[in-house]
Amino acid sequence: MRLSGILPWLLALVLLPVPVPADTTTGNADARHERGRAIYNFRCYYCHGYSGNARTLSATFLDPPPRDFTALRENPPARAKMIAVVQDGIPGTGMAGFGNILSAEDIAAVVDFVRREFIAAGRPNTRYHTAANGWPDHERYRPAYPFATGELPLDTPDDDLTGDQRRGKQLFLTSCISCHDRARVENEGPLWETSAVSYPRRHTCCDTYPPDAISGASVYARHDVQPRIPGLDEQQRQGEALFQANCAFCHAADGTGRNWIGSFLEPHPRDLTDPAFMQNLTPAQLRRIIAEGVPNTTMPAWRDVLDADQIDAIVAYIDRAFHPLARENRESEGIVRVDEVKGP
């Protein structure tokens, strides 16, 4: 199986299950079908596509590719087999099992939705770029469509593009690339890069334009706008630079964890602006969390990456920028420096 980039941990997105009514009356049957649609559009579209044809960016990185449901009309698999696949996954492929995430009713609902919507009827399902999904007036992006669909390679030299195409490329780079990635390029470049792939690419669109400045439509990009905090001291300024370079990838530039990456991680990165959590968190506790990580989450240990003074600076910045950390018992608890904390 060939997986690339951030795809492995995006393949099994997690949402708390919602029970499906057991009724089979016409009204409840329609509601059950729409429940199946909602589950599919949240969990399955990323690989299988909104219209079930597996024409997605992630599909180009998966070997074997995801199932194209629209090609199964002449020879559809048995319903029980499809339920078993959703329940248990398929070893050696990108198809994860959802038995520990979805209820049996939800699994049956999404399978029946796929069988009726894509295999039997070949319907286009729903469009993602709707006002409800945070994309009002999606036609404003029309100049970028050739780059999103791959009609024009993203690495086409600007000198070879018309004025409208250059504006479309700029729009793609500032608003579309976070989901569509590079779409299509003529030169794939080296198979392996020597630079880290765990951090956002810098010196591209967003150094020139604020996130989503052209459209204002993204529900995620607003959280990648770095807050302007006046009056930071030297330590806090150092912490600001370290946080934005290292922590903002998951926690968002504004500390909420509601950027694109943070929204797809489960459990979600901690919202550092949440008073209910932060008012009980002491500086010493936060230092330990940063140094040692949090088991069974995507929060790694940073003690081998950042030294004690750097972690202190990040704590000082979080305390100043997002929410004051708990002040009580600071002296009595004793502030343990990172280099004094023993690893597991």
Instruction: Let me know if domain 7-120 sits in CATH 3.40.50.2300.
Output: no
Strand extents, DSSP E, the chain: none
Per-residue pLDDT tens over the stretch 245-300 = 999 999 999 999 988 888 888 888 999 999 988 888 999 999 999 999 998 888 99
Tokens of 99: 């038995």
Residue 317 near residue 236, CB atoms below 8 Å: yes
In the chain, what are the domain boundaries? 7-120, 138-186+202-218, 224-340
The most distant pair of C-alpha atoms in the chain lies apart, rounded to whole Å, by 73
Q: How confident is the model at residue 26 (pLDDT cuts 50, 70, 90)?
A: low
Residue 213 near residue 277, CB atoms below 8 Å: no
Tokens of 5: 């980039």
Per-residue pLDDT tens over the stretch 196-228 = 444 444 434 444 445 444 445 467 778 888 999
Q: How far apart are CA 248 and CA 230, in angstroms?
A: 19
Per-residue pLDDT tens over the stretch 138-189 = 889 999 999 887 889 999 999 999 999 999 999 999 888 877 777 788 887 7
Q: Please check whether the two domains, 7-120 and 224-340, share a CATH topology.
A: yes
Q: Domain 224-340 - what CATH class?
A: mainly alpha
